[in-house]
Amino acid sequence: MTVYVYKLAGQQIRGVDASAYPFPWYGLTADTEEELHSFAESIGMYRHFYRPVMTGDKQLPLAGHYDLDQGERDQAVASGARPITTRKHKKMRDQRAAELGIKLK
């Protein structure tokens, strides 16, 4: 099972006081939804934190992510999740989508 953590994109807001957003948020994802949900449950995450990959109102057959704060991210890494960059996550997601014949925006 491979589970990954990455910093959620869009947290670098130019011209905004950084103290307005003092804590970074992270995503927890995996190669499959089954792996992801199993791992998330093992570290005490609730399913309502899960964010599926959507296009409009349709859920795509790709593993989404759980939102994590810094402490939850650290717990996930200590439990075996592999840290990756936001760029690497996007590349992996896009590659998986292409394998399934899904074109992401």
**pLDDT tens-digit readout, 57-76:** 999 999 999 999 999 999 99
Place 37 in a pLDDT band, splitting at 50, 70 and 90. Answer: very high
| Predicted model pTM | 0.86
pLDDT of 22: 62
Q: Give tens-digit pLDDT for 12-36.
A: 666 655 555 567 899 999 999 999 9
* Beta strands in the chain, from DSSP E residues, in sequence order: 3-7, 26-30, 50-51, 54-55, 58-59, 65-68, 82-83
Give pLDDT, residue 9.
84
